[in-house]
């Protein structure tokens, strides 16, 4: 209850995650009403600071803030502050002087929210920073899995794709293992990072380079977006090979149990990491993830700013 | 002005002297050393105008030589100037600083060397030696006019923070410099292994999601350059060795008789990549799993030294997470690498401790970690940091002083700084037991960027003498007697002194 | 310690609730379209007991819902974030008679929040208020339609309703705060 910021799930106890998920449930009820708005944050000003393009996450936070009756302002800038010749600290101080009560930040540099938190008087919510963390995404993943499967403890969750560059994977690792799930990270070694043998020593985590083996007995499979730049960086020989060996193809979909949830944090590269058949399969919860995202963000805004 | 430094614990590594006694400085030179055996002997009348400096309980040593500092001038005066940099140096006990050539314009021709020498002549508080660039513009392509640079006073060559990625160019540089008997200082980083790196690649970088630079990026270049030095019979000097494997490569090369020397910075000797975490918990794994090919015992250096009763001594938790003051080139490495560096210093593989002073402005530092300029303002905390190793019993005091005096002099091919009578009186007096707290705003350097803000260090420079004149004095140090000689608490060598 | 006084025994509490049930029945003849909505926590079991009592003598089981008003409170900023409870009302409230049920009526701010919340959920024909205890000190123009017991109090006193379902026993006690002792 006394938490000031939400920057990463690394230092959050299972109890607190549980509380957030319970609050999310209440927020979901609010979103199911005809009038999807409660006055809890009336008069508060939330600033969406987006230094990296992400229409989805920005809109999700915007809807969440509005459902709580907060004023929300979008501040969008591309590139790092240094490239623009404007310092992040200066931007934050300016927004504070303009009356911002809470900041939601998306930034291409890992750790940027910590810098903001040092110079802002109110709560800071991380909406994704570099490769580091994306706690609201991880929480909505936890909520969605639990909503469908009833629990998190003891589940086997396979995350397949670009682990090295993925803040979603990092936050999911913390959240899922904290709640007692087992996480299998599956990717070609280049996308696990040259140092992936460290990851294998983290409790509750195993590493695999073969998707078909990793999917044995999986309760959840989450595909991560593959960015085409990775090929130019030499990390992948071709998207074709990736898709055949690491993609959720119709053939793999057919072999999956019907109870295995299919997830994707979006935006999807259909035909690369996930086939259209898998994305729209009955056991796909990709749309539910998006819906639940608003409720989770309401819970975070409320708990930090209420 | 003449001085009589009384009752100090004299350490003169060049002469293997460690004794309690007095040092008489006359006309800018060491006139006489009076050791214990002679104490009480009538010295006869002291020369006219001799000030007595009471140094009881303090170490009196030759002034330190720094092989590696950026002084900013010309071109980066907002980072540092020769005046402020050398003032920081004398406050840190360094009477001689080798200035890195990453100036603007680059110190890659005699004209710039003359300019820097002229500024130094006019404004420096200590001695400044020049290092010329290896390649023009530090671009790694065309060699500088090394003969002319040497004639202009350059004592070594370095591309300051940049690695010459073309092995052919590096081979030619070594061969060319060999004829001048001057060392080529190599910064060892194959950046192709860590594009846009922000820190050491390991468990911590994985946890923080920061692009990492693997240890192999350093090892590859060290191995390559040793092969080239062996081939050209040149003097290769490895700047800022930071990895365990790098130390091993240098050790093996020395055993083969390759003319290779090496330096390490105080921060690489004492801080590890866990400092980037700040208040965050370390990753949930044994930190000893750092570099897989060099597994060591691995002492966790976070929060060490409480056994000495020193509160929060070298405590990374004083920093917020991702504090850009911890960003440096090469990056702070793993705990195992730190262990190996200390071992390398102890067995002579590493010749010198160099400050690695890399001043950066607030604008360059107060931004996101990944875009912050690497560099630590290090001259004034260097001694305090390396003395933590002495206080922990990981190094002995005489060897530490040797690596700050004799070691760097040997790398430069100069006769070592010494307190031998007749030699230039470059002297440092430091209190090895004095506790102090690092406060950024009090640094003499223009750059206040240090990860040690708020840390307690044990050991501080009290007085620095350059060419027989007091260049720095802390408060009224030495003006009042402190009683008889005191034994230093940190080492046995003076323990039985009455 | 004389600072704790019982003001309703279990039996008195039962009788008060039976009376409220009868009054609700009388006021809304036929009980058509009536829905009981409890305000967590203790308003919910009270609403259920009233529904059960009415079922006993009328043979009609009224729907019971629960309405969490945390997100509508006007003191969130002053008192800090409170855990959000669950709202669960299975019926559309439009054109219904909503009887709000709570344990203690004091400043009226909780009821004010509940009225706002109900307005967001639908447009009832009528909203009535039933409370077990009315202790006075209203800060808003709000009055209960059905009251179990009026208890004159001072602001420094605490009125505590204990219910079997939550506290293991039925009673209402009044306590002086330490400052008054």
Mean pLDDT of B288-302: 39
Q: Which of A77, A111, A132, A178 to mutate to test the interface with B (most CBs of B within 10 A)?
A: A111
> In residues, how long is chain C?
181
Is B274 an 8 Å CB contact of chain A?
A: no
Distance CA A39, CA A32 (A): 16
Average pLDDT, chain B: 90
Distance CA A303, CA C82 (A): 8
Distance CA B222, CA B190 (A): 10
Q: Which residues in chain A have their CB less than 8 angstroms from residue B371's CB?
A: 80-83, 109
Mind listing the pLDDT tens digit for each residue in B6-17?
999 999 998 888
**Number of helical (H) and strand (E) elements in chain A, helices listed first:** 15, 9
* Share in percent of chain B as helix, strand, coil (round to 5): 35, 20, 45
Q: Which of B344, B337, B255 is nearest to B298 (CA)?
A: B337
pLDDT of B495 strictly over 50: no
Give the angle subtended at the CA of C118 by the CAs of C112 and C123, to the nearest 5°.
Answer: 125
pLDDT of A79 strictly over 70: no
Q: Which of A226-230, A249-253, C88-92 has the highest mean predicted lDDT (pLDDT)?
A: A249-253
Q: Which of A6, A26, A44 to mutate to test the interface with C (most CBs of C within 10 A)?
A: A26
Mind listing the pLDDT tens digit for each residue in B463-487?
999 999 999 999 999 988 754 444 4
Q: Which residues in chain C have their CB less than 8 angstroms from residue A29's CB?
A: 86-88
Distance CA C67, CA C89 (A): 7
Is C88 an 8 Å CB contact of chain A?
A: yes
A and B make contact (3+ CB pairs below 8 Å)? yes
Three-state SS for B279-338 is CCCCCCCCHHHCCHHHCCCCCCCCCCCHHHCCCCECCHHHCCCCCHHHCCCCCCCCHHHH
CB-CB neighbours of A201 under 10 Å: 14
Element (H, E) at B209: none
Q: Which of B194, B201, B206, B209 to mutate to test the interface with A (most CBs of A within 10 A)?
A: B209
Distance CA B193, CA A234 (A): 12
CB A96 within 8 A of CB A117: no
Domain residue limits, chain C: 9-153
Mind listing the pLDDT tens digit for each residue in B205-235?
988 999 999 999 999 999 999 999 999 999 9
User: A130–B210: do the CB atoms touch at under 8 Å?
Assistant: yes
Bridge partner list, B96:
B65, B127
Which residue of A19, A37, A306 is in closest CB contact with C76?
A306
Average pLDDT, chain A: 92
User: A132–B208: do the CB atoms touch at under 8 Å?
Assistant: yes
Three-state SS for C100-127 is EEEEEECCCHHHHHHHHHHHHHCCCCEE
Residue B316 is predicted with a pLDDT of: 84
**Number of helical (H) and strand (E) elements in chain B, helices listed first:** 13, 18
Mean pLDDT of A122-131: 96
What ipTM goes with this model? 0.93
CB B345 within 8 A of CB B264: yes
Which residue of B202, B209, B370 is in closest CB contact with A198?
B202
Neighbouring chains to C with at least 3 Cβ pairs closer than 8 Å? A
Residue A197 is predicted with a pLDDT of: 75
Residue B417 is predicted with a pLDDT of: 81
Q: Kindly indicate the confidence band of residue C105, based on its pLDDT and cuts at 50, 70 and 90.
A: very high
CB B379 within 8 A of CB B445: yes
CATH class of C9-153: alpha beta
User: B322–A111: do the CB atoms touch at under 8 Å?
Assistant: yes
Mind listing the pLDDT tens digit for each residue in B115-143?
999 999 999 999 999 999 999 999 999 99
Rounded to a whole number, what is the distance in Å from the CA of C43 to chain A's nearest CA? 18
Residue B468 is predicted with a pLDDT of: 95
Q: Which of residues 123-162 of C touch A (CB under 8 A)?
A: none
CB-CB neighbours of A67 under 10 Å: 25
CB B495 within 8 A of CB B69: no
Rounded to a whole number, what is the distance in Å from the CA of B279 to chain A's nearest CA? 11
User: A39–C82: do the CB atoms touch at under 8 Å?
Assistant: no
Residue A3 is predicted with a pLDDT of: 63
User: A29–C86: do the CB atoms touch at under 8 Å?
Assistant: yes
Distance CA B185, CA B138 (A): 13
Is A89 an 8 Å CB contact of chain B?
A: yes
Residue C99 has, within 13 A of its CA and on its CB side, a CA count of 28
Q: Which of A51, A77, A106, A195 to mutate to test the interface with B (most CBs of B within 10 A)?
A: A195
Which residues, in sequence order, are CB contacts of A262 under 8 Å at separation 6+? A221, A223, A248, A253, A256, A274, A278, A279, A281, A283, A284, A285, A286
Give the rounded percent of residues in chain B with a pLDDT score beyond 70.
89
Element (H, E) at A44: none
Rounded to a whole number, what is the distance in Å from the CA of A141 to chain B's nearest CA? 20
DSSP state of C39: P
Mean pLDDT of B450-467: 96
Q: Which of residues 247-266 of A touch B (CB under 8 A)?
A: none
* Share in percent of chain A as helix, strand, coil (round to 5): 45, 15, 40
Complete domains list, chain A, with CATH: 14-134+290-304 (3.40.50.1370), 136-285 (3.40.50.1370)
Is B179 an 8 Å CB contact of chain A?
A: no
3-state secondary structure of A109: coil
Which residue of A88, A170, A201 is in closest CB contact with B209?
A170
Chain A residues whose C-beta is within 8 A of a chain C C-beta are: 1, 19, 22-23, 25-27, 29-30, 33-35, 37-40, 43, 68, 302-306
Is B208 an 8 Å CB contact of chain A?
A: yes
Is B369 an 8 Å CB contact of chain A?
A: yes
Residue with tokens 């007991």, as numbered in its chain? C49
C and A make contact (3+ CB pairs below 8 Å)? yes
Q: Which residues in chain A have their CB less than 8 angstroms from residue B209's CB?
A: 110-111, 129-133, 167, 170
Residue B313 is predicted with a pLDDT of: 64
Residue A127 structure tokens: 């909406």
CB B396 within 8 A of CB B366: no
Mean pLDDT of B335-364: 96
Rounded to a whole number, what is the distance in Å from the CA of A29 to chain C's nearest CA? 7
Is C84 an 8 Å CB contact of chain A?
A: yes
Residue of A nearest to C71 (CA): A40
- E strands, B144-193, in order: 154-158, 184-187
Classify residue B276 as exposed, middle or buried by CB count within 10 Å of its CB (0-12, 13-18, 19+).
buried
Residue B301 is predicted with a pLDDT of: 45
pLDDT of B294 strictly over 60: no
Which residue of B195, B208, B284 is in closest CB contact with A111?
B208
Distance CA A209, CA A188 (A): 5
Q: Which of B313, B356, B349 is nearest to B332 (CA)?
A: B356
Mind listing the pLDDT tens digit for each residue in B372-405?
999 999 999 999 999 999 998 999 999 999 999 9
pLDDT of B362 strictly over 80: yes
C and B make contact (3+ CB pairs below 8 Å)? no
Which residue of B205, B286, B371 is in closest CB contact with A109?
B371
pLDDT of B263 strictly over 70: yes
Mean pLDDT of A61-88: 83
User: B321–A111: do the CB atoms touch at under 8 Å?
Assistant: yes
Residue B284 is predicted with a pLDDT of: 62
Is C52 an 8 Å CB contact of chain A?
A: no
Residue of B nearest to A7 (CA): B321
Is C67 an 8 Å CB contact of chain A?
A: no
CB B467 within 8 A of CB B424: yes
Instruction: Read off the pTM.
Output: 0.90
Tell how strand B469-473 and strand B456-466 pair up.
Answer: antiparallel
- E strands, chain A, in order: 45-50, 71-76, 102-107, 124-129, 156-160, 182-186, 205-208, 220-223, 261-263
Q: Which residues in chain C have their CB less than 8 angstroms from residue A65's CB?
A: none
Bridge partner list, A6:
A125
Q: Which of C65, C69, C71, C83 to mutate to test the interface with A (most CBs of A within 10 A)?
A: C71
Q: Kindly indicate the confidence band of residue C179, based on its pLDDT and cuts at 50, 70 and 90.
A: low
How many angstroms from the chain centroid is the CA of residue B179? Answer: 28
Residue with tokens 């009868």, as numbered in its chain? C22
Distance CA B72, CA B100 (A): 9
User: C80–A19: do the CB atoms touch at under 8 Å?
Assistant: no
User: A26–C87: do the CB atoms touch at under 8 Å?
Assistant: yes
Q: Kindly indicate the confidence band of residue C29, based on its pLDDT and cuts at 50, 70 and 90.
A: confident
CB A76 within 8 A of CB A50: yes
Q: Which residues in chain C have their CB less than 8 angstroms from residue A304's CB?
A: 81
Q: Kindly indicate the confidence band of residue C133, based on its pLDDT and cuts at 50, 70 and 90.
A: very high
Which residue of A25, A38, A306 is in closest CB contact with C81?
A306
Mind listing the pLDDT tens digit for each residue in B15-61?
888 889 999 999 999 999 888 777 666 667 788 889 999 999 999 99
pLDDT of C52 strictly over 50: yes
pLDDT of C136 strictly over 70: yes
Distance CA B406, CA A56 (A): 62
Cis geometry, peptide bond prior to residue B126 (ω within 30 degrees of 0): no
Is A198 an 8 Å CB contact of chain B?
A: yes
Is B285 an 8 Å CB contact of chain A?
A: yes
CA dist C143 to A187, C41, C135, C149, Å? 65, 21, 12, 14
Neighbouring chains to B with at least 3 Cβ pairs closer than 8 Å? A
Q: Kindly indicate the confidence band of residue B296, based on its pLDDT and cuts at 50, 70 and 90.
A: very low
Residue C27 is predicted with a pLDDT of: 94
Q: Which residues in chain A have their CB less than 8 angstroms from residue C86's CB?
A: 25-26, 29
User: Cα-atom radius of gyration of chain A, to the nearest Å?
Assistant: 19
User: Cα-atom radius of gyration of chain C, to the nearest Å?
Assistant: 16
Rounded to a whole number, what is the distance in Å from the CA of A298 to chain C's nearest CA? 11
């Amino acid at each position: 209850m006394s938490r000031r910021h939400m920057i990463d799930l690394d230092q959050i106890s299972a109890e607190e995650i549980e509380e957030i998920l319970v609050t999310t449930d209440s927020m979901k009820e609010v979103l199911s009403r005809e009038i999807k708005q409660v006055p809890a944050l009336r008069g508060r000003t939330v600033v969406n600071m987006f230094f990296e393009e992400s229409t989805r996450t920005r809109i999700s936070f915007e809807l969440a803030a509005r459902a709580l009756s907060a004023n929300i302002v979008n501040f969008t800038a591309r590139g790092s502050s240094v490239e623009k010749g404007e310092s992040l600290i200066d931007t934050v101080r300016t927004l504070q002087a303009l009356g911002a009560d809470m900041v939601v930040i998306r930034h291409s540099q890992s750790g940027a929210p910590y810098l903001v938190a040092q110079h802002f008087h109110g709560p800071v919510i991380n909406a994704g920073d570099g490769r580091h963390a994306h706690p609201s995404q991880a929480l909505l993943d936890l909520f969605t899995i639990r909503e469908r499967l009833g629990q998190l403890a003891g589940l086997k969750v396979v995350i397949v794709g670009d682990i090295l560059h993925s803040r979603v994977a990092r936050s999911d690792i913390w959240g899922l293992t904290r709640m007692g799930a087992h996480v299998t990270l599956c990717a070609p070694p280049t996308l696990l990072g040259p140092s992936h043998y460290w990851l294998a020593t983290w409790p509750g985590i195993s590493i695999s380079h073969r998707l078909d083996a990793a999917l044995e007995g999986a309760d959840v499979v989450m595909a991560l977006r593959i960015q085409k730049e990775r090929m130019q960086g030499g990390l992948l020989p071709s998207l074709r090979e990736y898709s055949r060996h690491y993609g959720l193809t119709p053939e793999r979909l057919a072999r999956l149990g019907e109870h295995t949830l299919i997830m994707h944090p979006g935006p999807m590269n259909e035909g690369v990491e996930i086939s259209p058949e898998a994305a729209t399969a009955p056991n796909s919860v990709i749309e539910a993830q998006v819906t639940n995202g608003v409720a989770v963000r309401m819970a975070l805004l409320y708990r930090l700013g209420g | 002005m003449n001085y009589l430094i009384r009752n100090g614990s004299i350490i003169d590594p060049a002469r293997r002297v460690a004794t309690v006694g007095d040092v008489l400085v006359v006309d800018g030179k060491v006139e006489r050393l009076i050791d214990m055996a002679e104490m009480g002997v009538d010295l006869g009348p002291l020369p006219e105008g001799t000030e007595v400096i009471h140094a009881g309980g303090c170490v009196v040593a030759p002034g330190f030589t720094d092989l590696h500092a950026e002084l900013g001038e010309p071109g980066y005066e907002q980072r540092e100037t020769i005046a402020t940099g050398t003032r920081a140096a004398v406050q840190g006990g360094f009477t001689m600083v080798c200035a890195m050539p990453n100036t603007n314009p680059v110190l890659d021709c005699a004209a710039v060397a003359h300019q820097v020498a002229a500024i130094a002549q006019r404004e420096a508080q200590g001695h400044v030696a020049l290092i010329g660039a290896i390649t023009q513009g530090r671009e790694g392509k065309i060699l500088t006019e090394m003969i002319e640079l040497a004639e202009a006073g350059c004592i070594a060559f370095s591309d300051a923070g940049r690695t010459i990625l073309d092995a052919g160019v590096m081979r030619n540089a070594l061969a060319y410099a060999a004829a001048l008997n001057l060392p080529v200082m190599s910064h060892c980083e194959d950046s192709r292994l860590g594009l846009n790196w922000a820190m050491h690649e390991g468990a911590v970088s994985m946890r923080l999601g920061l692009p990492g630079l693997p240890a192999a990026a350093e090892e590859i270049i060290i191995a390559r350059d040793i092969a080239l030095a062996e081939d050209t019979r040149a003097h290769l000097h490895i700047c800022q060795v930071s990895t365990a494997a790098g130390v091993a490569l240098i050790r093996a090369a020395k055993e083969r008789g390759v003319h290779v020397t090496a330096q390490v910075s105080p921060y690489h000797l004492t801080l590890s990549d866990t400092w980037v975490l700040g208040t965050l918990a370390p990753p949930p794994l044994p930190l000893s799993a750092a570099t897989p090919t060099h597994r060591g015992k691995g002492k966790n250096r976070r929060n060490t030294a409480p056994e000495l009763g020193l509160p929060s001594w070298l405590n990374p938790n004083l920093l917020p997470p991702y504090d850009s003051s911890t960003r440096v080139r090469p990056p702070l490495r793993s705990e195992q690498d730190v262990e190996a560096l200390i071992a390398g210093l102890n067995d002579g593989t590493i010749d010198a401790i160099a400050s690695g002073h890399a001043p950066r402005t607030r604008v360059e530092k107060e931004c996101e970690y990944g875009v912050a300029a690497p560099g630590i303002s290090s001259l004034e905390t260097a001694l305090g940091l390396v003395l933590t190793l002495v206080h922990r019993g990981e190094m002995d005091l005489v060897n530490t002083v040797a690596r700050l005096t004799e070691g760097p002099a040997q790398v430069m091919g100069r006769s070592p700084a010494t307190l031998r009578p007749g030699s230039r009186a470059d002297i440092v007096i430091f209190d090895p037991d004095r506790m102090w707290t690092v406060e950024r705003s009090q640094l003499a350097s223009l750059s206040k960027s240090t990860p040690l803000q708020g840390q307690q260090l044990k050991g501080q420079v009290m007085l620095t003498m350059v060419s027989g004149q007091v260049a720095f004095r802390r408060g009224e140090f030495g003006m009042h007697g402190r009683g008889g000689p005191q034994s230093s608490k940190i080492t046995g060598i003076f323990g039985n002194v009455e | 310690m004389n600072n704790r006084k019982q003001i309703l025994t279990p039996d008195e509490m039962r009788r008060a609730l039976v009376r409220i049930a009868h009054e609700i029945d009388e006021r809304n003849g036929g009980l058509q379209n009536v829905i009981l909505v409890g305000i967590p926590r203790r308003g919910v079991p009270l609403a259920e007991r009233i529904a059960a009592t009415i079922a006993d003598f009328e043979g009609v089981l009224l729907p019971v819902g629960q309405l969490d008003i945390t997100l509508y409170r006007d003191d969130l900023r002053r008192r800090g974030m409170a855990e959000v409870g669950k709202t669960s009302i299975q019926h559309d409230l439009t054109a219904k008679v909503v009887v709000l049920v709570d344990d203690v009526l004091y400043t009226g701010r909780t009821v004010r929040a509940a009225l706002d919340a109900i307005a967001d959920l639908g447009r009832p024909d009528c909203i009535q208020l039933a409370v077990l205890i009315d202790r006075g000190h209203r800060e808003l123009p709000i009055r209960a339609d059905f009251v179990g017991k009026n208890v004159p109090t001072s602001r420094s006193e605490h009125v505590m309703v204990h219910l079997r379902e939550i506290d293991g026993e039925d009673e209402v006690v009044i306590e002086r705060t330490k400052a008054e002792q």
